[in-house]
C-alpha cells in the first residue's frame, strides 16, 4: 500500500511514522500538519551516493549531489542533507541565502533559473559558488558585467536545451524546444554563447548543464540527454574548449501511483555511468553533478488533515478535511495523484472523495477512492508530499501555512511553526489617511 514510504507502518490498525502513532501526532500538534521523516531522507540520499560512487571509482572524477531546494527548503530538511555532504541547486537569492544559513559547501552550490537578477548574481559571486548555469546570452553578459564591477571572475556553466522528450506531465517538462529553458544546441545558440564567454574577461567556462523535466518514470530520456550533452562536450573539445563539469539535472520520479513502475537510483546511475564511459576514449571525462529534488524528499513527507464533516450527495460521498489546496497544490494544478489513507484502519471499506474546505472546486485531493471507512474526527494522511508540498503552500482564503514536524529515532521535533492570523497581516499596511 505504501510504496516508497519505508518509515510508514500499520500496527494494531493504527498508522505509524517512524514508530510514532500518526493520530497522536495530529492530536498533539494540530492539523493541518506536515510530517517529515529524517530516516527516509537519509535513505533516499544514501541510495544516490551508493549508486553513483562507481563513477568516481572508474574515472577519478568528482560526483556531487546538489539537492534542488525548490522541492522543500525547510531549514531542518536542508541541514540533514548538508550534514550528509549534499550540495545545493538554487534558483533564487532566497534559496542561496538558505543554503548559506545551513553552511553548504560553496563548491557544491549551482545557481539555476532563467531570469537571474543582478543582486542574485552578486550574492552568487560573493559566495564563490561552483557555477551559474547560464540560460541566455543576455544573462551571460550581465554575469560578466557584474563580475567585472566586483573585480572577480565568475564560474559559468551553460544550460543547453537538448530537445529531449522526458515523457512526463507537460507542465513539468523543461528540455523540449518549446520550453523556456536553456540555450538551443541545434540552432547554434549554445555554441555562440560559449564562444562569447571565451572572449570575456570576467567569466570562466567550467561546465555544461541540462535538465529535461521532473517526475520521469523512464530511464531512456536520461540516456538520450546524457548522449546529447557528451556529444556537445566532444564538439567543444575539438574547438579547444575543455569542460570540467557535466550537470545532468534531476527529475527521477517517485512511486505516487502503485500502477506506475518507477526506476530507482541504481537504475539511473547504471544508465548514466555506462553512457558517460562510452565517451572515455573521445574526451577527458568531467566531474558529474546531479540535481535531485523530488526523489530525495517526496516519500519522506506526509500531510495530515482532520475530518470535520462528511457529506453525501447524489453523486458521491465527500470527506471534508481541514487541509486544503493552499497546503498542497499538486492535485489542483497538475492533476497529481497521491495515495490517501485514514490513520485508523477499519475493516469496512467505502468509495469516497477527499476534499479540503477552500472555496475552489479544484480543492480536491482524491476522487472515487476505495478506503477503509472514515468517521468524523478521524485523521487522514496524504502521502508522498515531502516535495512541492509546503514549498508551494500559500495563504489563499486567508489560511496560515501549516506546521511541520520532523520524526527521528530520538523524538519528534517542530521544524516550522504554524502561521497565525497575525502572521497573515504582518506585512500589510493601511495608509494613514484611511485611519
What fold is seen in the domain 8-37+298-425? Lyase, Ornithine Decarboxylase; Chain A, domain 1 (2.40.37)
CATH code 3.20.20.10 region(s) in the chain: 61-292
> Taking each helix axis from N to C terminus, what angle separates 38-59 and 265-277, rounded to the nearest 10 degrees?
20
In the chain, residues under CATH classification 2.40.37.10 are 8-37+298-425
Is 292 annotated for ligand binding?
Answer: yes
Catalytic residues: 359
Give one word for 328, left, alpha or beta, with left for phi > 0 and alpha for psi -120 to 50.
beta
291 belongs to an annotated ligand binding site: yes
Domain 61-292 belongs to what architecture? Alpha-Beta Barrel (3.20)
| Residue 62 marked ligand-binding | no
Q: Which residues pair with 9 in a beta bridge?
A: 16
**Which among 274, 283, 287, 199 has a CA at the least distance from the CA of 248?**
287
Q: Is 369 annotated among the ligand-binding residues?
A: no
Ligand-binding site membership of 330 (annotated): yes
Ordered per-residue pLDDT tens for the chain, 435 residues: 466 789 999 999 999 999 999 999 999 999 999 999 999 999 999 999 999 999 999 999 999 999 999 999 999 999 999 999 999 999 999 999 999 999 999 999 999 999 999 999 999 999 999 999 999 999 999 999 999 999 999 999 999 988 775 554 454 445 445 566 789 988 899 999 999 999 999 999 999 999 988 899 999 999 999 999 999 999 999 999 999 999 999 999 999 987 778 899 999 999 999 999 999 999 999 999 999 999 999 999 999 999 999 999 999 999 999 999 999 999 999 899 999 999 999 999 999 999 999 999 999 999 999 999 999 999 999 999 999 999 999 999 999 999 999 999 999 999 999 999 999 999 999 999 999
List of residues 6+ apart from 347 with CB closer than 8 A? 372
Quick one: cell of 68?
534542488
- Is 434 annotated to bind a ligand? Reply is no
Cβ proximity of 396 and 325 under 8 Å = yes
Amino acid at each position: 500500500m505504501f510504496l516508497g514510504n519505508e518509515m510508514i507502518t500499520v500496527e494494531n490498525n493504527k498508522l505509524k511514522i517512524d514508530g510514532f502513532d500518526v493520530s497522536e501526532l495530529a492530536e498533539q500538534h494540530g492539523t493541518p500538519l506536515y510530517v517529515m521523516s529524517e530516516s527516509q531522507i537519509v535513505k533516499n540520499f544514501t541510495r544516490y551516493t551508493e549508486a553513483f560512487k562507481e563513477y568516481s571509482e572508474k574515472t577519478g572524477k568528482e560526483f556531487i549531489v546538489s539537492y534542488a531546494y525548490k522541492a522543500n527548503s525547510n531549514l531542518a530538511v536542508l541541514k540533514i542533507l548538508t550534514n550528509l555532504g549534499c550540495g545545493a541547486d538554487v534558483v533564487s537569492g532566497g534559496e542561496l541565502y538558505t543554503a548559506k544559513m545551513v553552511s553548504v559547501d560553496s563548491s557544491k552550490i549551482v545557481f539555476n533559473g532563467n531570469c537571474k537578477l543582478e543582486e542574485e548574481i552578486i550574492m552568487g559571486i560573493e559566495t564563490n559558488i561552483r557555477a551559474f548555469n547560464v540560460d541566455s546570452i543576455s544573462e551571460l553578459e550581465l554575469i560578466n558585467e557584474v563580475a567585472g564591477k566586483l573585480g572577480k571572475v565568475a564560474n559559468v556553466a551553460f544550460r543547453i536545451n537538448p530537445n529531449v522528450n522526458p515523457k512526463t506531465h507537460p507542465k513539468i517538462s523543461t528540455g523540449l524546444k518549446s520550453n523556456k529553458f536553456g540555450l538551443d544546441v541545434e540552432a547554434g545558440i549554445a555554441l555562440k554563447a560559449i564562444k562569447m564567454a571565451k572572449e570575456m574577461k570576467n567569466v570562466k567556462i567550467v561546465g555544461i548543464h541540462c535538465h529535461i523535466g521532473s517526475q520521469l518514470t523512464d530511464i531512456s530520456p536520461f540516456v538520450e540527454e546524457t548522449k546529447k550533452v557528451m556529444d556537445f562536450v566532444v564538439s567543444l573539445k575539438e574547438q579547444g574548449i575543455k569542460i570540467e563539469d557535466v550537470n545532468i539535472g534531476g527529475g527521477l520520479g517517485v512511486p505516487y501511483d502503485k500502477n506506475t513502475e518507477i526506476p530507482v537510483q541504481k537504475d539511473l546511475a547504471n544508465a548514466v555511468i555506462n553512457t558517460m564511459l562510452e565517451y572515455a576514449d573521445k574526451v577527458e571525462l568531467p566531474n558529474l553533478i546531479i540535481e535531485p529534488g523530488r526523489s530525495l524528499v517526496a516519500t519522506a513527507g506526509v500531510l495530515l488533515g482532520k475530518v470535520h464533516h462528511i457529506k453525501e450527495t447524489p453523486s458521491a460521498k465527500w470527506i471534508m478535511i481541514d487541509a486544503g489546496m493552499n497546503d498542497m497544490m499538486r492535485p489542483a494544478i497538475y492533476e497529481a495523484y497521491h495515495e490517501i489513507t485514514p490513520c485508523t484502519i477499519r475493516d469496512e471499506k467505502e468509495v469516497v472523495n477527499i476534499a479540503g474546505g477552500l472555496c475552489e472546486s479544484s480543492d480536491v485531493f482524491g476522487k472515487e477512492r476505495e478506503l477503509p471507512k472514515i468517521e468524523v474526527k478521524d485523521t487522514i494522511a496524504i502521502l508522498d508530499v515531502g516535495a512541492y508540498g509546503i514549498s508551494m503552500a500559500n495563504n489563499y482564503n486567508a489560511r496560515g501555512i501549516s506546521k511541520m514536524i520532523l520524526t527521528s529515532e530520538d523524538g519528534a521535533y517542530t521544524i516550522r511553526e504554524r502561521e497565525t492570523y497575525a502572521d497573515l497581516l504582518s506585512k500589510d499596511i493601511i495608509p494613514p489617511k484611511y485611519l
